[in-house]
Amino acid sequence: MKPSRRSFLQTGLALPTVLGSVPDLAGAQPVTSPAMKDSSFDPWVEIHRENLRHNVQEISRRVSGRPILAVIKNNGYGTGVENIAQLLEPQSEIFGFAVVKLHEAHTLRDAGIRKPVLLLGPFDEQNLSDAVARDIMPMVYSPLGPALDKIAAQTQKPLPLHICIDTGIGRVGVPYHQAAPLVRDLAARKSLQIRGTMMTFTEDPDFDKEQLHRFNETCASLESSGIALGKKHAASSFPLFQHPDAFFDMVRPGMAIYGIYSENEFRQMGILDLRPAISLKARVIYVKKLRKGDSAGYNRAYMAKDDVWVATIPVGHADGWPRVAAKGAKVRINGDLYPVIASVSASHCILEIGSEEKVKIGDTATFFDGEPGSRPEDVSESCGASVYDLTMHLSPLLPRRIL
């Protein structure tokens, strides 16, 4: 079979280079996934235990010791849902975990996680029955009272749940002006326990105030009629900086736990000292000199204005490195930052090294980590990729190394 242009280029790049050089692997760390089949040149994700611990303590300080429901959806924001839960569970500040996909909730229980798990995502009746049997709490916002009662009767134990109220994000949650009958119905059922009541901000500073007002009014009216709403929670990372009046009984951050500021302006505020706990790295697989007028990338996206050294790194958009990285992101090798040029293809990107051959095959290339200039927020600022895309889009197939 005639190989396609892309498959030819990819094998052509990787194999002779890898076989023709022996990288220095002395510093290689043990990996946490079955990664022994990965090439030592392949990208990997590092998770920094100490930075995670620090971030959790920082958040706890900010919220005066309120419990933290850690959002670890979407493969733990790239860290691996099982890895992150196992690292966070021993910290007393962590109350429990929130995920969106049902399979992630089951993965947590399979991994022996014992703290509360809140399922923010959808389920059908059978899913719910299986989940409840494993102490996975549903987030409820529709008239599921009879179905929940039935499941509680099967398991012969009270069924804990959280109620989601939509105060304006329009995504999931019972609209605040229709919440009262639903909450009353759930509260009246002896087999059910309302353990929490929550909302999500739109993160529009002005409208957030209105949302908070709606939530407070709705909750106060229900509480005044004797309904216990459990722990009220609303604060993801953004409100940790912007809305101390919305910390309620528990906070619900994701990005801040991973040590990344969800908005760049939060970096200078001095409110939280966050240390990135997730890095993306790989090794240089090829270094060569382009002559003036040579091109690089599909569609000749880059044209060499002069003779220039370039380095190829085996990280592409299929690994989670966004295509927009070619619009200004820089990658660090041996302490220097080099721009991503041409275009990011599925499995490779190219760096402009300059007039001197300053890097060599096998050198470690850091796409982001906790160093100034290489933080996820720096990458985000330089090319416009969101920090959420940088972390959550990391391929689950990449090996994870816990440091």
Ligand X SMILES: Cc1ncc(COP(=O)(O)O)c(C=O)c1O
Q: Residue from 254, 276, 322, 362 that binds ligand X (CB under 6 A)?
A: 254
H/E stretch holding 338: strand 336-341
Token duo for residue 228? 């216990």
Site for ligand X in 65-94 (CB under 6 A): 71
**For residues 116 and 367, what is the distance between their CA atoms, to the nearest angstrom?**
34
Give the residue from 215, 192, 70 showing the smallest Cα distance to 132: 192
CA dihedral 109, 114, 119, 125 (to 10 degrees): 60
The residue among 88 and 255 lying less far from ligand X, judged by its C-beta, is: 255
Binding segment for ligand X among 16-24, 121-129, 208-216, 251-259 (CB under 6 A)?
251-259
Q: What are phi and psi of 400, to 5 degrees?
A: -110, 135
| x-or-dash string of contact with ligand X, 318-357, rule CB under 6 A | ----------------------------------------
Work out how close the CB of 153 gets to ligand X at its nearest, in angstroms, rounded to a whole number: 29
The structure tokens 């089949």 sit at 37
Work out how close the CB of 21 gets to ligand X at its nearest, in angstroms, rounded to a whole number: 40
Question: Which residue type, as a one-letter code, is found at position 235?
Answer: A
The residue among 18 and 260 lying less far from ligand X, judged by its C-beta, is: 260
SS3 79: coil
Binding segment for ligand X among 154-162, 230-238, 326-334, 390-398 (CB under 6 A)?
230-238
Work out how close the CB of 166 gets to ligand X at its nearest, in angstroms, rounded to a whole number: 11
The residue among 237 and 380 lying less far from ligand X, judged by its C-beta, is: 237
Number of residues that bind ligand X (CB under 6 A): 12
| x-or-dash string of contact with ligand X, 151-170, rule CB under 6 A | --------------------
Angle at which helices 81-88 and 49-62 cross, to 10°: 60
**For residues 288 and 361, what is the distance between their CA atoms, to the nearest angstrom?**
10
The residue among 130 and 263 lying less far from ligand X, judged by its C-beta, is: 263
DSSP-derived pairing of the beta strands 250-251 and 231-235: parallel
Asked if 96 touches ligand X (CB under 6 A), the answer is no
Asked if 236 touches ligand X (CB under 6 A), the answer is yes
Q: How many CA atoms lie within 13 A of 94 on its CB side?
A: 26
Q: Is the dihedral of CA 220, 222, 225, 229 positive or negative?
A: negative
The residue among 79 and 262 lying less far from ligand X, judged by its C-beta, is: 262
Work out how close the CB of 260 gets to ligand X at its nearest, in angstroms, rounded to a whole number: 9
Asked if 120 touches ligand X (CB under 6 A), the answer is yes
Residue 32 φ/ψ region, left for φ over 0, alpha for ψ in the -120 to 50 degree band, beta for the rest = alpha
Work out how close the CB of 276 gets to ligand X at its nearest, in angstroms, rounded to a whole number: 14
Asked if 107 touches ligand X (CB under 6 A), the answer is no
CA dihedral 163, 168, 171, 177 (to 10 degrees): 50
Binding segment for ligand X among 34-42, 217-225, 248-256, 286-294 (CB under 6 A)?
248-256
Q: What are phi and psi of 219, to 5 degrees?
A: -65, -45
* 290-294 contacts at long range (C-beta below 8 A, 24 or more positions apart): none
**For residues 371 and 157, what is the distance between their CA atoms, to the nearest angstrom?**
50
Question: Which residue type, as a one-letter code, is found at position 338?
Answer: Y
**DSSP conformation class of 372:** T
The residue among 144 and 235 lying less far from ligand X, judged by its C-beta, is: 235
For ligand X, which residue has the nearest CB?
254
Q: Residue from 60, 75, 167, 237 that binds ligand X (CB under 6 A)?
A: 237
From residue 356, alpha-carbon distances to 98, 166, 290, 367, 371 in Å are 49, 57, 12, 21, 24
Q: Residue from 193, 197, 262, 380 that binds ligand X (CB under 6 A)?
A: 262
The residue among 203 and 371 lying less far from ligand X, judged by its C-beta, is: 203
Q: Residue from 80, 96, 253, 339 that binds ligand X (CB under 6 A)?
A: 253
Asked if 387 touches ligand X (CB under 6 A), the answer is no
Site for ligand X in 176-215 (CB under 6 A): 200
Q: Residue from 106, 232, 252, 332 that binds ligand X (CB under 6 A)?
A: 252
Binding segment for ligand X among 49-57, 146-154, 178-186, 234-242 (CB under 6 A)?
234-242
The residue among 11 and 142 lying less far from ligand X, judged by its C-beta, is: 142
**For residues 191 and 154, what is the distance between their CA atoms, to the nearest angstrom?**
11
Residues that bind ligand X (CB under 6 A): 71, 120, 200, 236-238, 252-256, 262
